[in-house]
Structure 1
């Protein structure tokens, strides 16, 4: 089975109930009351359909937004699959620099995190390529894209999510719902981990935890 991102939705003419890995998109849909026509920003999206937390919103509810990924192959497929969206090829994080992006054969685990990449390699994950990719802050990207309001911010960057979250000016942009994968998250101490504690400091509370994804909403 190919791990390449697809430009056509799976299932053909049959509607899918969910595209997410663990049904996260069903929670997002319910949170927004199945509303139509919202705006998402999807950071580290990789594939327009597979394990996507925004595909259901896009296909069945008319949402549109901004997709960002550091893989050229992923961006090419995303642009073909979602021509109504804007899709950018770059990294997102605090460092305004070019960093090494580790692209794995199983594209969903590709990462900027060198330690995470080393663990994956040690576990036998084949590396396709290592490439230098420009990294920009999420705030700069949103400013340039002239995105004033965000309904759903989805971050899935394989060990790099905290850097993405820290690169946004939370006083200026207040997404109505934020999803991020949190390493070392302890549900008994939800704000003890770095990223969750950071989100709480920005005025957000944990509203759900599904699979590896934590969801935050403004207090």
Structure 2
């Protein structure tokens, strides 16, 4: 089966190479953003994996709920504590942030930055409630400068993601990296956008990251991927129609699994038999 890649920098291909033999795999995506566009987890979901998506932006969270009904989709941020925080939202981008300095830089660059209050939860609390003892095969963090507070909210002695990838596009000397090193993780790869870490007990996976994605990985880029040819107007309309159809199918699936629908279905069946 050809692997369809959705991630912006081949992250899903690298992860799939290391984890393709895992059955019923589990992921955590902090800063999930859109459920399809540039998604690191979309391909895994299509292959039967499930996980936790943490996304504070309302429209992205709603899309995740509609298109990822088997996932746990949380509208909050992962932080060091459970306090409410000010979130700086930039609509229709993956550039929203909790960091005031980053938000100001983007505002100075002409972006429409809007602030609002969001709920913060520690990653430990999220795992305790939703992971329920399951192995976490990879943890992806893309939080635009808020990485340290996410990591400080995680008990790595209890929860041990096999692989952690963190978007680190600009500054390579991260002060928070000692948190991972002290927790028993090794930095194994920088792909130009993300840094990958392996838990010391899973260093056997390192060879999977030694070479870049290539034709031997048997993958295709999703329709409209940044690295593929741009979509024509007809293709864009078709892609939009397909997305609407997927959303409608997800909504119908959610309705059919609701208690109200099941009760009405039983009532209609009983009335037909009467």
Q: TM-score, normalization: structure 2? A: 0.68
Task: Flag the 1:126–1:73 CA change in 2: closer, same or farther, 3 A.
Answer: same
SS in 1 for 2:84: strand
RMSD of the TM alignment (CA)? 1.7
Q: Which runs of 5+ in 1 are unaligned?
A: 1-14, 187-191
In proportion to residue count, which structure has more strand? 1
Alpha-carbon shift at residue 197 of structure 1 (Å)? 2.3
Does 1:217 pair with 2:204? no
Q: TM-score, normalization: structure 1? A: 0.85
The 1-side partners of 2:12 and 2:6 are apart by 7
The 1-side partners of 2:167 and 2:151 are apart by 11
Among candidates 75, 95, 100, match of residue 89 of structure 1: 75
Q: Alpha-carbon deviations, 1:85-143, whole Å to 9, x = none?
A: 1101111111321111111024310111111111111111122x311011111101111
Alpha-carbon shift at residue 16 of structure 1 (Å)? 6.5
Larger-gyration structure (1/2): 2
CA contact (8 A) 2:169 2:194 kept: no
2:7 aligned partner: 20
Task: Flag the 1:183–1:201 CA change in 2: closer, same or farther, 3 A.
Answer: farther
Alpha-carbon shift at residue 217 of structure 1 (Å)? 0.7
In proportion to residue count, which structure has more helix? 2
Moved beyond 4 Å, runs of 4+: none
Map 1:142-153 → 2, pairs under 5 A = 142-148=127-133, 149-153=135-139
CA contact (8 A) 1:101 1:130 kept: yes
User: Alignment length, in residue pairs?
Assistant: 198
Q: Which runs of 5+ in 2 are unaligned?
A: 201-274
SS in 2 for 1:109: coil
2:204 aligned partner: none
CA contact (8 A) 1:47 1:77 kept: yes
Map 1:1-219 → 2, pairs under 5 A = 17-59=4-46, 61-127=47-113, 129-148=114-133, 149-182=135-168, 185-186=171-172, 192-219=173-200
1:189 aligned partner: none
CA contact (8 A) 2:169 2:192 kept: no
The 2-side partners of 1:156 and 1:147 are apart by 23
